[in-house]
Amino acid sequence: MFIEPKISQQHAENIISTKKWSFPLMSKLFSRISQISPKKLEVLYLPFYLFDVRVEKKIKDKKEGDSPRQNVTLSVDGLLGHAVLFAEDTLDAEKDPDTRTPTCNFAISSTDAAKIALDQYKGILLEHGLRTRSHPRADEISEGRKIYYPFWVGYYQKKKGYDFKALDAVSGEIQGVRMRRVFMRALRELG
């Protein structure tokens, strides 16, 4: 299943264009800002697994509407296995996915991804439990669903080579250091 991008190409280019500050020699009071647009911008679909994890909370003072169980949707990239929390209600499947769009194949299995997701989420629950003095527990994890999630990738020319910036094509967030390794792996596969 391919997820539909919500950010247009023009909007993505505006977000990831880097700002370059230049200071004239005559005065530091006057500065000029120019934007450096990427040389190339394309949508890259990365493989992800989606898992539903059932979490059980121990509730001491039960209030109306409190449920001891809740479901959390976790996503794990299918290349390296980094867990990311998702709000699944923002994911709309494409009607006719473009088959010419660059994609990567899954490199880790669904069972390995499920183990990674559960281990990382248990760590998050433990940390949360220590801060709030509650003891939530992740009970079970569903079978992984395969999706291809879109990112805008902009390529920049540097003095001695190239660099890239990646933007989540659904939320519009620029991707940081943690996802950089995933993108490098994907770009090597597509290379």
* Cα–Cα distance for residue pair 119/138, rounded to 1 Å: 10
- Cβ neighbourhood burial of 104 (10 Å; 0-12, 13-18, 19+): buried
| Among the listed residues 2, 5, 175, the one whose alpha carbon sits nearest the alpha carbon of residue 104 | 2
pLDDT of residue 26: 47
- Please give the model's pTM, rounded to 2 decimal places: 0.79
Beta bridge partners of 21: 33
* Cα–Cα distance for residue pair 95/107, rounded to 1 Å: 26
pLDDT tens per residue, range 107-166: 999 999 999 888 888 877 877 666 666 666 677 788 889 999 999 999 988 888 888 999
pLDDT of residue 118: 85
Q: Is 70's pLDDT higher than 80?
A: no
In the DSSP assignment, the letter for residue 64 is T
Q: Is 78's pLDDT higher than 90?
A: yes
Q: Which residue has the tokens 């949508």?
A: 43
Domain boundary assignment for the chain: 9-20+32-190
Which uninterrupted H or E stretch holds 114? helix 110-132
Mean pLDDT for the stretch of residues 43-51: 92
